[in-house]
Amino acid sequence: MGNSPKKAEQKMAQVLTAWRTHAPDKSFAGLTLKEFEAKIAPAQQHRTRIKELNEELDEETILRDQSDDDVAVVIKQVVAGVLADPDEGPNSPIYQSMGYTRESERRSGLHRSKRSEPATK
């Protein structure tokens, strides 16, 4: 059909409804209404399957996000365990490898900005 899937779906439905309503017993292009329905059935089945897959994907995405939230809690606990471990702690390689900055490498956080001299007139 060359159109978007949505337009193709609308056109199939429009032709099918018009045929059923106005001339269900006539043949067009060598096809009966039943034969036309059989011709468009695969396209309709693919649309149904795509809808099902999208719903499954949405459900799986929600489950993944919930699992990620659960894992984030466990990760915080593991990192807290590393920090509290007397052999590891905040300066350990494992803490850094987990993506955190070692305490010994942190800057103090104190920033003193230079005051600009007030403009004199």
pLDDT digits (tens, 9 = 90+) for 68-89: 999 999 999 999 999 999 999 9
Residue from 72, 73, 94 nearest 83 by CA: 94
**Which range marks the domain in which residue 60 is found?**
5-100
**Residue 47 in domain:** yes
The whole-angstrom separation of Cα 101 and Cα 7 is 54
Q: With 80 as the cut, is the pLDDT of residue 103 above it?
A: yes
From the DSSP assignment, how many helices (H) and strands (E) are in the chain?
A: 3, 0
The domain tally of the chain equals 1
pLDDT cut 70: percent of the chain above it: 89
So what's the pLDDT on residue 117?
Answer: 64
pTM of the model: 0.64
Helix (H, G, I), strand (E, B) or coil at 75: helix
Q: Is the pLDDT of residue 119 over 90?
A: no
The pLDDT of residue 93 is 96
Could you read off the pLDDT of 9-30 as tens digits, one per residue? 999 999 999 999 999 999 999 9
Does residue 117 sit within a domain? no
Residue keyed to tokens 């459900």: 59
Q: Which of 62, 14, 58 is nearest to 36 (CA)?
A: 14
The reply to whether 65 falls in a domain is yes
Work out the average pLDDT over 41-49. 97
The identity of residue 88, as a single letter, is E
Residues paired with 72 in a beta bridge: none
Say if 106 falls within a structural domain.
no
Single out the residue of 100, 108, 104 nearest to residue 82, CA to CA.
100
Give the pLDDT confidence of 50-64 residue by residue, as tens digits. 999 999 999 999 999
- Whether 45 maps to a domain, the answer reads yes
Domain assignment present for 35: yes
